[in-house]
Every structure is written in C-alpha cells, then in structure tokens.
C-alpha cells in the first residue's frame, strides 16, 4: 500500500508539474497576444521575432536620420528665404539709386540737385551695409562660416569684408551635402569681365555714383551708372542662385518623403500585427487556457480511491 501510495503521489506530482507548465505557457501566449492587440505591433521585443526585431531597429535608426534631414531642410529653407529677402532689398536699393542717377545723368541736371542726390545716396549706403550684414537667428547671412562676426564694416571711406569665402555644407539626404549659404565675397564682389577676378564691389559701384554726382560730370555719372547696372544684375544672378538651391531642397524633400514612406511600409510589414488574426488567436488561446484549467482541476482532485477503482 505504501509503494502504491508513493507511485500515486509521484504520478500526481508529474501531472501537476505538466499542467502548471501548460498553464504558464498558455498564459504567456495570452499575454503576448493581448500586448499585440494593445500596441498594434507583432514585434515588441527581440524574443518575438529576433530577425524582424533587428531589421526593425535598423529601420528606426534610419528614420531618426530622416528626422534630422527634415530638420536640416526646414532650417535651410528658412536661411535661404532670409537670404533672398536681403538680396531683394539690395536690388530695390540699387534700382532706386539707378533711377536717381538716371535723372541726374542729363546735361540739364543742376549742380545743386546732383549734390543733393549724392548726399541722399551717401546716407542710403548705410542701408546697403545693413543688408550685407543681415542676420538670421542671430547669425550673419553673408559671412561665409564666420557667422558670429559682422562681415562688412565701413573703415573711413572704405568697406572691409571680415568674413571668409567658405560655404556651410549641410547633409540634406543620406550621402548628399549641399551649400546653403552665399559667402559675402560672392555677393559683394563683381566679376564684370567673367575672368574669375573681381573688377569692383557693390559698395564701390555705389560710391562711384556718389563721387560722379559730386564731381558734376555727366560722362562720369553715366559710367558710374553702367557699373551700378552691372551690380544690380549681379544681385539678380545671386537671387537666381538662391532659387536654384531652394529648388534642390524641394527635390530633396520630395525624395525624403518617398524614402520615409517606403521605410514606414517596410517597418509596418515587419512590426504591425494583423488585428483579425490576433483576435482569432486570442480567443482560441483563452478557450484553450480555460480547458486546460478545467482538466487540471479534475486531475488534481483525483484521489487514491479513484486510482484503485476498477
């Protein structure tokens, strides 16, 4: 009897161990399915699907790079908009100066009127310098990479450039960099002959007209206006250059949006749960757990007498 009782007890313990293991497995599976329903994701941790999880994490890191590129593009657009505004204001100033010069470029223009116009233009020279020293978010637009140093300063009758000729390269797409700024020397200096050597500057062209008006010399005024016109066209070319950079940013934004859509689609295929499928599995698992609990309960209630019964 004792040996029979021992055998029975061992068998009961084995049944109980197996039952507890099955219950634990079903509860874990039930918790996993409930998590999928709650998060909407099939893969929430490495153990769910090691390969899919690793790929998903790599895609998340790539998505973070895309986020950075989007921020760079937004900052670049704002910088270029401020640059275009400053250049457009300079064009307006040079248009105004040209119109003033045109009125004074005739033989009938009075000496006093020319002197008055020269004084007006001299005062407006500060407005030109203000635009050359324009800033965006506290940084100088036309200073090259020396964005914390005022690039243009008036030293006596001479304007001095304190910036450099370096561009600010920014990565706007993986592996693609673009210069978002126009160094001050490219804006200020004018290569009229196209030989790669600056012939004069914006401020020199402006000052030439002032000097010609004070000299009361019609031919000199007309020559100064030719330079002023060249300076104005130079500024228009710089505006077109900014427009081209802006166009490239727009193309990069479109490409980035397409890349992000492809990435999100791929990540969704790896991570996202099929709600209908999960719901069916969840219901099936709940029923299986309930059945296991009922069977286990009956097994554990079996007595030695039941075991001995014929």
Q: 58 falls in which pLDDT band (50, 70, 90)?
A: confident
Higher-scoring residue by pLDDT: 160, 271: 160
Model-level pTM greater than 0.95? no
Give the residues across from 201 on adjacent strands.
Answer: 189
If you ran DSSP here, which 8-state letter would residue 42 be given?
Answer: S
Please compute the mean of the pLDDT values over residues 251-260 and round it to a whole number: 91
Q: How far apart are CA 85 and CA 300, in angstroms?
A: 84
Instruction: Look up tokens 């797409």; give the residue.
Output: 173
Q: How confident is the model at residue 231 (pLDDT cuts 50, 70, 90)?
A: very high
Cα–Cα dist 253/260, whole Å: 10
Per-residue pLDDT tens for 268-302?
Answer: 776 655 556 656 666 676 666 566 666 666 655 55
Kindly tell me the number of DSSP H helices and DSSP E strands found in the chain: 8, 8
DSSP bridge pairs for 171: 177
Contacts of 218 (CB under 8 A, 6+ apart): 105, 106, 107, 109
Distances (CA, A) of 13 to 7, 20, 27, 194: 10, 10, 21, 97
HSE-CB of 9 using CA atoms within 13 angstroms? 6
Quick one: which H or E segment has residue 130? Answer: helix 111-132
CB atoms within 10 A of CB 246: 17
Please give the structure tokens belonging to residue 49. Answer: 């699907």
**Helical pair 50-104 and 218-271, crossing angle rounded to 10 deg:** 170
3-state helix, strand, coil in the chain (%, to 5): 70, 10, 20
Give first-to-last CA distance, the chain, whole Å. Answer: 16
Q: Is 88 helix (H, G, I), strand (E, B) or coil?
A: helix
Query: What was the pLDDT predicted at 302?
Result: 53
> What mean pLDDT do residues 214-233 have?
96
Tell me the HSE value of 106 on the side-chain side, using a 13 A CA sphere: 8
- According to DSSP, the β-strands at 200-201 and 189-190 are antiparallel
């Amino acid at each position: 009897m004792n040996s029979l009782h021992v055998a029975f007890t061992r068998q009961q313990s084995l049944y109980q161990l197996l039952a507890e293991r099955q219950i634990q497995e079903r509860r874990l599976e039930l918790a996993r399915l409930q998590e999928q329903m709650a998060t909407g994701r099939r893969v929430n941790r490495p153990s769910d699907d090691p390969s899919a999880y690793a790929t998903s994490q790599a895609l998340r890191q790539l998505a973070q790079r895309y986020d950075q590129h989007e921020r760079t593009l937004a900052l670049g657009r704002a910088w270029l908009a401020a640059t275009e505004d400053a250049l457009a204001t300079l064009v307006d100033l040079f248009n105004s100066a040209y119109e003033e010069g045109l009125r004074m470029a005739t033989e009938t223009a009075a000496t006093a009127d020319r002197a008055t116009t020269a004084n007006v233009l001299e005062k407006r020279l500060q407005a030109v310098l203000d635009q050359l020293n324009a800033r965006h978010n506290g940084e100088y637009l036309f200073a090259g990479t020396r964005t914390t140093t005022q690039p243009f300063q008036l030293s006596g009758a001479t304007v001095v450039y304190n910036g450099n000729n370096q561009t600010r390269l920014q990565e706007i797409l993986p592996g693609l960099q673009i210069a978002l700024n126009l160094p001050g020397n490219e804006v200020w200096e004018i290569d009229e002959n196209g030989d790669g050597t600056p012939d004069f500057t914006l401020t020199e062209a402006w000052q030439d007209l002032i000097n010609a008006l004070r000299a009361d010399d019609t031919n000199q005024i007309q020559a100064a206006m030719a330079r002023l016109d060249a300076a104005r066209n130079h500024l228009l070319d710089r505006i077109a250059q900014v427009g081209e950079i802006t166009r490239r940013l727009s193309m990069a934004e479109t490409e980035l949006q397409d890349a992000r859509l492809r990435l999100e689609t791929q990540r969704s295929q790896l991570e996202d749960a099929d709600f209908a499928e999960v719901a069916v599995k969840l219901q099936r698992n709940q029923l299986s757990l309930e059945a296991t609990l009922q069977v286990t309960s009956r097994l554990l209630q079996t007595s030695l007498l039941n075991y001995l019964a014929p």
